[in-house]
Structure 1
Amino acid sequence: MKKIILNLFKREQGNAIVFAAIAFMGLLGMAGLAIDGGLVYMTKSHLQKVANSAVLSGAQELTNQEDKVETIVMDILKSHKEESSLEKVEIEMEKRVAVDLNKPVQLSFARLFGFEKMDVQVHAAAELRTMGRAVGAAPLGIDDRIPLEYLKPYQLKVDSSGVEYGNFGVLALGSTGAKPFEENLRNGYQEELQTGMVLETQTGNIAGKTREVIQERVNGCTEMPRDVNDRDCSRVILVPVYKPNKIDQNQLKSVEITGFAYFYITDPMDSKDTSIRGMFIKRAGTGFEEEGSLFKGAYSIRLTE
Structure 2
Amino acid sequence: MKRLKRLTSFREENGAVLVMVAFSMLALLGFTALAIDGGRIYSEKSKLQKAVDSAVLAGAQGLRTTNSSSSAEEIANDIFYEKYGYDNSLVFNLTVVPGQSIEGEAKNIPVSMTFAKAVGTDEAFINASAKAVVGPITKASGIAPFVILKSDIPNRTVLNCGSTNPGDLQGNCGYLKFSDGNLRDAILNGATYDVRNTVFTDPGGSVGQVEQAIDGVDGIVSKDVSKLHCQSPDTADNSCARVITTVVVDNWVDVEGKPITGKSEVKIVGFASYWIDRYEDKRLYGKFIKMVAPGEIGTGTGIGDYNLFGVKLSE
Q: Please tell me whether the aligned partners of residues 237 and 291 of structure 2 are also in contact (alpha carbons under 8 angstroms).
A: no
Residue 304 (1) aligns with residue 314 (2): yes
CA distance in 2, matches of 1:249, 1:264: 26
CA distance in 2, matches of 1:83, 1:134: 38
CA distance in 2, matches of 1:117, 1:249: 69
Aligned counterpart in structure 2 of residue 172 of structure 1, from 158, 161, 177: 177
**2:17 maps to what in 1?**
16
1:221-260 Cα offsets, whole Å, 9 max, x none, are 4434xx4354434553211224734769954423343432
CA gap 1:208/1:10 in 2 versus in 1, 3 angstroms? closer
Matched to 2:110, the amino acid is P
1:140-169 Cα offsets, whole Å, 9 max, x none, are 1135xx4466x4346533266622464542
CA distance in 1, matches of 2:183, 2:106: 47
**1:152 maps to what in 2?**
155
**1:260 maps to what in 2?**
271
TM-score (normalised: structure 1): 0.78
**1:241 maps to what in 2?**
248
**2:58 maps to what in 1?**
57
Matches within 5 A, 1:37-116: 37-65=38-66, 66=68, 67-77=70-80, 78-84=82-88, 85=90, 87-102=92-107, 103-116=109-122
Residue 206 (1) aligns with residue 206 (2): yes
Identical columns (%): 27
CA distance in 1, matches of 2:275, 2:168: 22
**1:285 maps to what in 2?**
293
CA drift at 1:184: 3.0
Aligned-partner SS, 2:65: coil
CA gap 1:7/1:270 in 2 versus in 1, 3 angstroms? closer
Q: Please tell me whether the aligned partners of residues 238 and 291 of structure 2 are also in contact (alpha carbons under 8 angstroms).
A: no
Matched to 1:283, the amino acid is M
Q: Please tell me whether the aligned partners of residues 64 and 99 of structure 2 are also in contact (alpha carbons under 8 angstroms).
A: yes
Residue 142 (1) aligns with residue 143 (2): no
Matches within 5 A, 1:116-127: 116-127=122-133
Aligned-partner SS, 2:239: coil
Aligned-partner SS, 1:156: coil
CA distance in 2, matches of 1:152, 1:251: 25
CA distance in 2, matches of 1:134, 1:68: 27
CA drift at 1:131: 0.4
CA distance in 2, matches of 1:197, 1:293: 18
**1:183 maps to what in 2?**
185
CA drift at 1:54: 2.4
CA drift at 1:116: 0.8
CA drift at 1:49: 2.0
The alignment covers a number of residue pairs equal to: 292
CA gap 1:201/1:293 in 2 versus in 1, 3 angstroms? farther
Q: Please tell me whether the aligned partners of residues 135 and 310 of structure 2 are also in contact (alpha carbons under 8 angstroms).
A: yes
Matched to 2:296, the amino acid is F
CA distance in 2, matches of 1:54, 1:60: 10
Answer with 255-264 or 31-40: which moved more: 255-264
Q: Please tell me whether the aligned partners of residues 128 and 284 of structure 1 are also in contact (alpha carbons under 8 angstroms).
A: no
Q: Please tell me whether the aligned partners of residues 172 and 199 of structure 1 are also in contact (alpha carbons under 8 angstroms).
A: yes
CA drift at 1:134: 1.2
CA drift at 1:113: 1.8
Aligned-partner SS, 2:99: coil
CA gap 1:287/1:86 in 2 versus in 1, 3 angstroms? farther
Q: Please tell me whether the aligned partners of residues 136 and 192 of structure 1 are also in contact (alpha carbons under 8 angstroms).
A: yes
**2:232 maps to what in 1?**
223
Quick check: which one's strand share is greater?
1
Answer with 37-46 or 234-243: which moved more: 234-243
Aligned-partner SS, 2:64: coil
CA gap 1:192/1:135 in 2 versus in 1, 3 angstroms? same
C-alpha RMSD over aligned residues: 3.5
1:154-210 Cα offsets, whole Å, 9 max, x none, are 65332666224645421123333xxx223333x241x42223344332211235654
